[in-house]
Structure 1
């Protein structure tokens, strides 16, 4: 059987803490990685803890997107003014905000 090496970067302090847990249980990082690799290859699925972690991350991202959308929904937009086009309304808003002559006005 040909062996391959797996390299990962992790926080040094977290690694030391994790190694203590592994040592208490008579395991090493190599044991853990081999077991995880076998599990993935045998089942074709992520372990439950990883699926839960990904689910939590996706939920957090979904909430962030909803909050961003809600900010736009709650935003006060100017009322439509008569027969003005969108471009004319934008030009007026630029004039109010920045003053001076607006070269983009129609």
Structure 2
């Protein structure tokens, strides 16, 4: 019953979407969805890199070590307008 969507059904669905949201809002919605996907992808990549670095280097930190520099997270690769500095959490536990 619902397994086959032909051209008339898809056209009807698109017309209903355009009527509900309006033609002006659809490009903005698509743009924001793409931006969100890029942010999610870059954050997942950063988390994956951090996980690989922390498991590879299991040496204890030196006591004379300076605090790490502040990282900047960007919304999309090359997008400098929406980047913001992020303070890294510090590990205060003693081993």
Question: TM-score normalised to the size of structure 2?
Answer: 0.37
Q: Which has the higher contact order (CA 8 A, sep 6+)?
A: 2
Higher helix proportion (structure 1 or 2): 1
Higher strand proportion (structure 1 or 2): 2
Question: TM-score normalised to the size of structure 1?
Answer: 0.34
Larger radius of gyration: 1
